[in-house]
Amino acid sequence: MIKFGTIGTSWICSEFIAVAKINPNINLIGCYSRSKERAKDFIAQQQIKARAFDNFQDLADNVDAVYIASPNGLHFEQAMYFLSQQKHVFLEKPLAFTFAQASQLREVAMKNKVILMEAFKVIHAPQYSFLDDFVKKYAPFAATFSTNKYSSRMPDVKNGIFKSVFDEHLGKGATYDMLVYPVELAISLFGPVKVVKAMSIKLLNGVSHTDAVLLQHHSGIVTNIMCSKSAHGVSASEILSDEGTLSFDEVLKLNNIKLYDVAEQKEFFLFDDDKNNMMQYELNVFVKMILEDDLQLSDYLLKMSCETVRVLQLVNEEK
């Protein structure tokens, strides 16, 4: 059994606990919050038998692994602490705000022979195989990914209140909180990026609420991305080749996957809607890597995550 601790009390941490409770290889030991009372309340809400912590050292002394779901700006510091304590780390996206920081986390994880994995759901979901198979069979040359979801924080933003996601230091806006999904999906399918072109619409505090990004991969494939946290998108995403087109809804879930075959001039419906908590897939991979000491797979995934952070950093630096 892997003794697990959690950091954070948001909805995403609740989602993690829901799948951790039914994983036979996980024992939820404790929950951390800066306020021990808040941690106790969270434990009661989740209906688990766990201990409340407000000190990282105490948590580290009692667990084998941690799930970190704190604000983006705290990821690097917190992950570095637990990796240095030789604890496995399951870290919410993104790994960090800079490529140098992400690379440092990877180096420390490999040095201490522990598993560090970014919680990026879709590449571990069964339906991802339809995208991967299409790339291998149809040799696409371009893709358009749309990720536009109106944030519940936008009313505050309109009143000049920049909390959490839209905070300059904690969240860094749409670039690090939403764009990470289509960028990482593109890298996982088409490989590392050679050229980055980007334009952003930024708030008064300098963080973006909308990013328009064009990537050229070393493979030659071009990915066009529209990402916004200030609008609700309705368009599907597409991967294009001269022999067929694969379309899907929701970059975060890969629903409603369809294939249009040019030769047959016919559309085939491949996948509908995944009703499961998608975190179960990535958590199963993380647990399996720990149990099998699979540092090779861990490093493969980390390289992908680091490349994603590199691209996000370039986008963020565009004026």
Is the pLDDT at 113 greater than 80? The verdict is yes
Helix axis angle, 295-317 relative to 180-190, nearest 10°? Answer: 130
Q: Is the pLDDT of residue 52 over 70?
A: yes
**Residue 112's domain spans which residues?**
2-121+280-298
Q: Do 231 and 290 fall into the same domain? A: no
My answer on whether 197 and 115 are in the same domain is no
pLDDT attached to residue 147 = 95
Give whole-number Cα distances, 68 to 10, 17, 25, 182, 203, in Å. 11, 12, 19, 22, 28
Q: Is residue 303 one of the residues assigned to a domain? A: no
Residue 94: the pLDDT is: 96
Q: For position 191, which CATH number holds? A: 3.30.360.10
Number of domains in the chain: 2
Whether 72 and 200 map to the same domain: the answer is no
pLDDT at residue 153, as a whole number: 87
- 143 lies in the same domain as 156: yes
Q: 259 with 294, same domain?
A: no
Residues 12 and 81 in one domain: yes
Q: What is the mean pLDDT of the chain?
A: 96
> What pLDDT is stored for residue 319 in this prediction?
60
Q: How confident is the model at residue 318 (pLDDT cuts 50, 70, 90)?
A: confident
Q: What is the CATH number of the domain that holds 31?
A: 3.40.50.720
The whole model's pTM is what? 0.96
Residues 90 and 203 grouped into a single domain: no
How would you classify residue 93: left for phi > 0, otherwise alpha for psi between -120 and 50, otherwise beta? beta
Query: Per residue in 62-98, pLDDT tens?
Result: 999 999 999 999 999 999 999 999 999 999 999 999 9
- Whether residue 310 is contained in a domain is answered as no
More reliable by pLDDT, 12 or 159: 12
Q: Are residues 137 and 9 in the same domain?
A: no
Indicate if 127 and 264 belong to the same structural domain.
Answer: yes
- At 135-177, the pLDDT tens digits run 999 999 999 999 999 998 888 888 888 888 999 999 999 999 9
